[in-house]
Amino acid sequence: MKTRKELKKLYNTLEFQKEYQYDGKDLGALCTQAGTTFHLWSPLAEEVELRLYRDGKHSECFQKIAMQKEKRGVWSYQTERYLHGVYYDYQIPWDGEIVELGDPYARGCGVNGIRSMVVDLNRTNPLQWEHDQRPKKREENIIYELHIKEFSWDESGGFSKENRGKYKAFTEEHTTLFGDGEHSTGLDYLKELGVTHVQLMPVYDYGSVDESNDEEFNWGYDPENYNVPEGSYATDTEDGAVRIREFKEMVQSLHKNGFRVIMDVVYNHMYSLESNLNKAVPWYYFRTKDDGTISNGSACGNDVASERPMCANYIVDSVLYWAEEYHIDGFRFDLMGLLDVDLMNRIRRELDVRYGRGEILVFGEPWAADETAIEGTAVPALKKHIAQLDCEIGMFCDDTRDAIKGHVFEAEIPGFVNGANGLEEKILNSVRAWSTDGRNVKAPSQVITYVSAHDNWTLWDKLEKTISDEEERIRINKMAAAMYMTCQGNLFFLSGEEFARTKDGLENTYNAPIELNRLDWERAYRYTDLRTYYQGLIALRKQLPGLCDKSEGAWKRIFEEWKTEGVVGFFVDNTGKVYESKWKTLCVIYNSTRETVSKELKEGDWEILVDSESSFRWKEGKKVGCAKAAPKSVLVLGQRSQKYEMDIWKTRF
């Protein structure tokens, strides 16, 4: 076997690319009533053996088959047999040593992903799957990030015992707090909250949890089988068809209840270098430095070489597979800054061709943990390269996040809401989603506006570091929420932010016990006042086309802004493109001082939409002549639209 240094050289030669580039769509095992085919891309192998098993664990193989060498580095076997439910793996001799591997293109697998499984995907479809439809695309995107196990594990959620922590919990409708029949949890709760998208933390097969042990917990940022659902969330971890069917049932139920589904995908690194990809084509799919050492920009011990043509193909095919087979509506790319710009733009293009422009959301973290050994002229999809990314590729905006609530790593460094000075200009940029002329960001469609995610402290825990009094903390939490929900961009928040979710001050709970990570539904009703404030903000947001506008030039809707120390105010042109609003102009004031702030208003009738006490004021229609923002609060006023009133008049008579 060649050294890593030699392999790197070889893979980067044009000859290698020319000879071995394979664009066929039949890699992996495909199974229909007509028969079964196996294809593996392994250009350096001299022989490949396929082995078939009756289960995914320890049984002896019942058949060994020498694979046929095809062109372009592909090995194949075809049979008329219907092998649905048969498990398999490969053996490749490298330098006299036999390496066992699962199929890197596996669509199914047994417990813990050790053996791959042949699946006739038609047999995994739930009833009515062919009628499953993604909910209509809306102008506002309000994304709610959650973890399958955290969502329904706690008894307070009222889910049935056998489904707690599982995909299946998402098929349970009308669950309530301890089953009291009164306080909604689960799907009904999400509907009442008003979010439009559910973002699932890793749901592909990952390696850190023993699927046969229900006690184990991990966030799952350690992929093993990219194209198979994780087994620990299935009610049967051994029959590889069950996880597939139950995953589809979950998506179907979320769609039926009005939510689009986003998948958190981690194509930038894997659980370990013992991965099937690395065993099939040594050091092709992972970056190495010129001296042969292993690149580690992910801080997880390996970086996927997204810029290599067959690796890019692999990632694109994987994304398209989830969109097509599982009806996924959006993708959130973990450490997108380790992937390359060409790949991201290609993913965008391929999704647009199939599903319509911008229909499937694509966004990610525009950063990396460290430098990565990206090949040749490839450009990493980092924040500084946002201008080279398609307008419909978004990035998490750390500038907005930190300006509002304070430093993400330094506990005591506050943001605008909790006492920092001099952030007014940054806040105004945040309102416009950093997309004014002369900036890299082309439009608010490229920005994810948020103050909490699974990483780092919860918003509540971060605020706790700077504000000891709980009542004050609730007030500041409301203010932070009202701020980012009146900024442009796609809105995003961590599940439970709306009820003061806490992880006891721990920053990184990826492998902490489920007892700490789980959603505590009781807390949702202990912090009813805060939760209701979020509900009102979300309901109002859906009536504010001026802030939901994601198009280029949307920033011009923000006008006549002003700022003094601790105060930012602005007007919004709220006339609609896609839909009309009751209010044609908004006046918004963020007041982080301890004094009431007043602002004379232009002529016309103004009514209060949001103040420090309630985010449902817009239901009351109370008129004011002067804007008065209470200390430590956000005030939103609206001026009626005559056009809207006319349209209502017209539709009535």
Choose the binding region for Ca ion from 13-21, 201-209, 271-279, 367-375 (rule: CB under 5 A). 201-209
265 burial class (0-12, 13-18, 19+ CB within 10 angstroms)? buried
Residue 154 or 205: which CB sits closer to Ca ion?
Answer: 205
**CB 230 within 8 Å of CB 322:** no
Distance of closest approach, residue 106 Cβ to Ca ion, in angstroms: 12
Distance of closest approach, residue 404 Cβ to Ca ion, in angstroms: 36
* Size of site (CB under 5 A) for Ca ion: 1
Distance of closest approach, residue 247 Cβ to Ca ion, in angstroms: 13
Within 332-361, the residues that bind Ca ion by CB under 5 A are none
Cα–Cα distances in angstroms (integers) from residue 30 to residues 41, 106, 112, 126, 571, in the given order: 15, 9, 21, 20, 57
Closest residue to Ca ion, Cβ-based? 205
Residue 205 or 340: which CB sits closer to Ca ion?
Answer: 205
Site of tokens 């071995």:
20
Instruction: Determine if 205 is a binding residue for Ca ion (CB under 5 A).
Output: yes
Residue 205 or 264: which CB sits closer to Ca ion?
Answer: 205
**CB 165 within 8 Å of CB 154:** no
Cα–Cα distances in angstroms (integers) from residue 381 to residues 172, 287, 323, 352, in the given order: 39, 16, 22, 19
Distance of closest approach, residue 268 Cβ to Ca ion, in angstroms: 18
Q: How far apart are CA 451 and CA 88, in angstroms?
A: 45
Distance of closest approach, residue 213 Cβ to Ca ion, in angstroms: 11
Tokens representing 81?
A: 């047999």
- What is the set of active-site residues? 334, 365
Helical pair 341-355 and 309-325, crossing angle rounded to 10 deg: 30
Q: How far apart are CA 589 and CA 602, in angstroms?
A: 15
Residues belonging to the chain: 653
Distance of closest approach, residue 496 Cβ to Ca ion, in angstroms: 25
Residue 165 or 414: which CB sits closer to Ca ion?
Answer: 165
Query: Which among 360, 307, 365, 304 is positioned nearest to 335, based on CA atoms?
Result: 365
The site map against Ca ion for 69-108 (x = CB under 5 A) is ----------------------------------------
Q: What angle do CA 200, 204, 206 make, to 5 degrees?
A: 110
Q: Which residues contact 401 (CB under 8 A, 6 or more apart)?
A: 408, 450, 451
Choose the binding region for Ca ion from 5-13, 204-212, 246-254, 336-344 (rule: CB under 5 A). 204-212
Query: Which among 136, 141, 251 is positioned nearest to 194, based on CA atoms?
Result: 141
Residue 205 or 497: which CB sits closer to Ca ion?
Answer: 205
Q: How far apart are CA 433 and CA 487, in angstroms?
A: 7
Residue 11 burial (CB count, 10 A): 24
Virtual torsion, Cα 251, 256, 257, 259, nearest 10 deg: 50
What are the beta bridge partners of residue 333? 265, 364
Residue 237 or 306: which CB sits closer to Ca ion?
Answer: 237
Q: How far apart are CA 492 and CA 328, in angstroms?
A: 18
Distance of closest approach, residue 242 Cβ to Ca ion, in angstroms: 14
Distance of closest approach, residue 503 Cβ to Ca ion, in angstroms: 23
Choose the binding region for Ca ion from 202-210, 339-347, 462-470, 637-645 (rule: CB under 5 A). 202-210
Choose the binding region for Ca ion from 55-63, 203-211, 320-328, 602-610 (rule: CB under 5 A). 203-211
Choose the binding region for Ca ion from 39-47, 122-130, 197-205, 561-569 (rule: CB under 5 A). 197-205
Residue 147 or 442: which CB sits closer to Ca ion?
Answer: 147
**CB 570 within 8 Å of CB 561:** yes
Residue 112 or 302: which CB sits closer to Ca ion?
Answer: 112
Residue 205 or 424: which CB sits closer to Ca ion?
Answer: 205
Distance of closest approach, residue 229 Cβ to Ca ion, in angstroms: 9
Give residues in contact with Ca ion (CB under 5 A). Answer: 205
